Amino acid sequence: MKKIKKEKEVLKNSDADVSASLAFEELLELSTTKLSDINLNTITLDDDENTNYIDINETIDVDENDLFKIIKRAQKQKSILNNQRWVNSEENEENEIIKKAEMSGKSKYDSDVLRELILKRQRDKRKDKGLNNFIDNVKKKKNNYDK
């Protein structure tokens, strides 16, 4: 019991309590002030600040430091990387299923599409694992076992 009382006394005198009480006092002062006493300054923006300095329709020679050239170069690099990256064949097949569904007006989250994707994944897992796979491998390679 004595420890609990000591901890409570320590918490009462902490800096957090003092700052919280000061914050509540300031809130009370703000709540009692009238809105007419507060001076608000409004700032209006000029139309000159919103001008576009580069006209996109103009055909201009773009140098190395121009933002448009940097963006175009980044887009080219992205397309090159997308073409060079290794693509999983299963991912391609799943994307084809989704594209077929979208062409028929279904979402990729439609229950029929998800069911087809799940069944395909299960079929692929069964091909790789199980007794049937082992038997098929033995039949294919039985000539190698005789040697």
Instruction: Please state whether the predicted TM-score (pTM) of the whole model is above 0.75.
Output: no
Q: What is the pLDDT along the chain (147 residues), one digit of tens a residue?
A: 555 555 665 555 677 778 888 888 888 887 777 666 666 666 665 555 555 555 555 555 556 567 777 788 888 888 887 777 666 777 788 888 888 888 888 888 888 888 888 888 888 887 777 777 778 778 887 777 665
pLDDT tens, position by position, 97-107: 888 888 888 88
Dmax (CA) for the chain in angstroms is 102
Query: How many C-beta neighbours within 10 Å does residue 106 have?
Result: 14
Q: What is the DSSP string of 70-101?
A: HHHHHHHHHHHHHHHS---HHHHHHHHHHHHH
45 three-class SS: coil
CA dist., res. 126 & res. 135, Å (int): 13
Residue ranges per domain, the chain? Answer: 2-34, 88-140
- Quick one: pLDDT at residue 113? 86
- Which of 82, 144, 139, 94 has the alpha carbon at shortest distance from 119? 94
pLDDT tens, position by position, 20-51: 888 888 888 877 776 666 666 666 655 555 55
